[in-house]
Amino acid sequence: MNSAASISIAALVGLLSGTHASIWGMYKDALHEGFGLGRFGRSMIIGAACAVLIESWLLLPMDDAGALVLLFGLTYAAERGIVEVWKTFVRDEDQAKYFIPMAFSIRGRPVEHRGIRLAAGAAYVVVVALCLETIGLLDRTGPPDIFTILLAGLAVGLIVAVGGGWKDAPKEGFDLVKFFRSPLTTVVWALLLSRFTDSTLLIAVGSIGFERATAETYKTFFFPSRPRGKFSGKPVTHPEMLRRRIYFVPVYLTIWVLVIALGALALRVPAARLAGAGL
């Protein structure tokens, strides 16, 4: 497959990944914020751009089902990382509309000083990058064994759990089950993704993406009447979205079906391993 075709397929995968994130974000937020085309399309654009950059770097075989599933997870992680860092540390927004502040907070109180937020954001990005770099060093020892896969999944899951706990616990209290939900999910996804690549780093990052997709699907569509934590106790200001949001559900489910079908196909048909692709 030539590079133009690979990039085009990667852009489509990224678009689907971003659309998936946009839909669950809109499904509950729109009841309190209304529907904004720019806000909805943000994740779609970032997802497509991230996928193109990732494919340009890794050169994953876009004619392989396992590589497509892996790229979906990698893109999801990258898009979520970019958006959440921007919302938490960079964006200036009135936090009064939230029950749980979305901006960087200490003990549930938003930090108003922009310089402090930016410094905290830079420190956070560096710490996460160092953690991923450490995981990436494991690739130098060869294909990961089961213990390495489990450890990588657990490590990135704890990163997600600590970040979520820092934000949510001051307002909702510490929930042990909720805290360990992310590490458990990333471990399961790490085991699955290890069937598609021999890179511990790609397994770890892809697991973050699929953890986010899984957790948000569970929270959003298994409990549709329960407001997202950040809007807990806040009034529904756009009740018309209760009806309009339903139109997006078939698209959301279709994306999940495509990803699951590709994963099932990749597990049935032995594919070329993606060991150290582009690294």
Conformational region of residue 61, where left means phi above 0, alpha means psi within -120 to 50, and beta covers everything else: beta
**Structural domain count, the chain:** 1
pLDDT at 269: 62
Q: How long a stretch of residues is the chain?
A: 279
Residue 273 lies in a domain: no
Question: Which residue type sits at 82?
Answer: I
> What local confidence, expressed as pLDDT, does residue 226 receive?
77
Predicted pLDDT of residue 174: 85
The Cα–Cα gap between 70 and 98 comes to 34
- Do 154 and 132 meet the contact criterion of CB atoms below 8 Å apart? no
Q: Are 212 and 163 in contact (CB under 8 A)?
A: no
- pLDDT for residue 172: 85
Task: Please check whether residue 275 lies inside any domain of the structure.
Answer: no
Is the residue at 36 inside a domain?
Answer: yes
Q: Which stretches does DSSP call E strand in the chain?
A: 105-106, 109-110
Contacts of 36 (CB under 8 A, 6+ apart): none
Q: Which of 74, 9, 75 is nearest to 43 (CA)?
A: 75
Residue 82: inside a domain = yes
What's the rounded Cα separation, in Å, for the pair 71 and 83?
18
> Does a structural domain hold residue 277?
no
Using alpha carbons, select from 189, 220, 183 the residue that is nearest to residue 22: 220
**106 forms bridges with which residues in the sheet?**
109
User: pLDDT tens digits for the chain (279 residues)?
Assistant: 668 999 999 999 999 999 999 999 999 899 999 999 999 999 999 999 999 999 999 999 999 999 999 999 999 999 999 999 999 999 998 888 888 889 999 988 999 999 999 999 999 999 999 999 999 999 998 899 999 999 999 999 999 999 988 888 888 888 888 889 999 999 999 999 999 999 999 999 999 999 999 999 998 988 877 777 788 888 899 999 999 999 999 999 999 999 999 999 998 865 444 444 444
- Domain span at 135: 3-268
The crossing angle, in degrees rounded to 10, of helices 200-221 and 3-33 is 30
**Residue 274, in any domain of the structure:** no
Q: Is residue 79 part of a domain?
A: yes
The DSSP call for residue 151 is H
Q: Cα-flanking dihedrals φ and ψ of residue 129, to 5°?
A: -60, -40
Question: Is 276 within the bounds of a domain?
Answer: no
The structure's pTM equals 0.92
